[in-house]
Amino acid sequence: MEENIQNQMPNPSANSGQKRNTPRDLFLHLLAIVTLYWSSISFVTLVWQFINNWFPDALKGYSYMGDFSNSLIRFSVSAILVVFPVFIIVSWYLNKIYRKESAVRESKIRKWLIYLTLFIASLVIIGDLIFTVNMFLGGEVTIRFILKALSIIFVAGLIFGYYLDDVRRETPTKLAKYFAWPSGILVLAVVVCSFVVVGSPTSARLLQLDQQKINDLQNIQGQIVNYYQRKGTLPNKLSDLNDSISNYGIPNDQQTKKPYEYAVADTTQSIAFSLCATFNRPIQYTFPTNAADMGISEIWDHPAGKYCFKRTIDKDLYPLYNKENTALPLLPVQ
């Protein structure tokens, strides 16, 4: 009887080799894979934005050189600074668990997630190669495109090679240490480059203020042209554009809280005016070779400091409204 009871009792040593799938294992392995994906996507996004900045494409649409993709760069940097350290810490903790509990390393959850990662990395590499060959046959291969293709192959190939080696081993490899340090240095270099491109947070704030001023001036300019087309003359001052019915009011400079400067240069040959503002940083737009065909004619480049944009209204392009044609007919009373 006593012998039967001992035979029915669980043997810890016998269960030590069984594959485990505990909630802790699911949480740690899933967190490691998700942070790996997120870090990789953010890294490639940053590299692509650097390539766009250093190798601009003349056939693409115009963009603001100082803020062409600042929001995307800032978001990617924020993601890397938060997510990548989480990936490194979780991976280190998992390797520590593997040394003590070999069953965790052999869990089905880990195997499935690793093979899913290998599958996704394989698809990315194959798709990138197909796209590269297709672009080459179409004659559209440039340095800009080649560098982007190589960045994807590099990241996907690095992930594929590391996890393919790791999944074949029964015990943790020391390769993780040699993988972590170069990866950390590379990510740090990309983060530093991002600050070189977008500038410090203070600089980014000043650029946003300048962009808001450009938006205000563009809006005011449209109101001035509309005022001229309706009344046949330019407003004497910007306050003439205020309309209580449409609830339109002239915006002020959000940084100085002062109104923008406006001057009329109305002559017999042309109808001209100027709008002035004080800027923190110089701004330069880049235009494609077919800018004229796209209807891009206004230039809002400016240096730092006070600058005035001079505009001349073309009477043929902006004719006066015909009041007889635009007046709405009165409906008969039923």
Break the chain into its structural domains and give their ranges: 20-199, 213-313
State whether the Cα torsion 286-292-296-297 is positive or negative: positive
Condensed to tens digits (0 to 9), the pLDDT of residues 304-327 reads 899 999 998 888 888 888 655 444
Answer yes or no: is pLDDT of 62 > 60.
Answer: no
pLDDT at 308: 92
What does the pLDDT read at residue 5?
44
Instruction: Using a pLDDT cut of 70, give the percent of the chain over it.
Output: 76
> Could you identify the residue written with the tokens 């209807």?
295
End-to-end CA distance of the chain: 106
Structure-token pair, residue 29: 């392995």
Among the listed ranges 93-107, 163-177, 270-284, 319-333, which one has the minimum average pLDDT value?
A: 319-333
pLDDT at 33 exceeding the cut of 50: yes
The structure's pTM equals: 0.62
Q: Are 288 and 59 in contact (CB under 8 A)?
A: yes
Over residues 147-171, the mean pLDDT reads 81
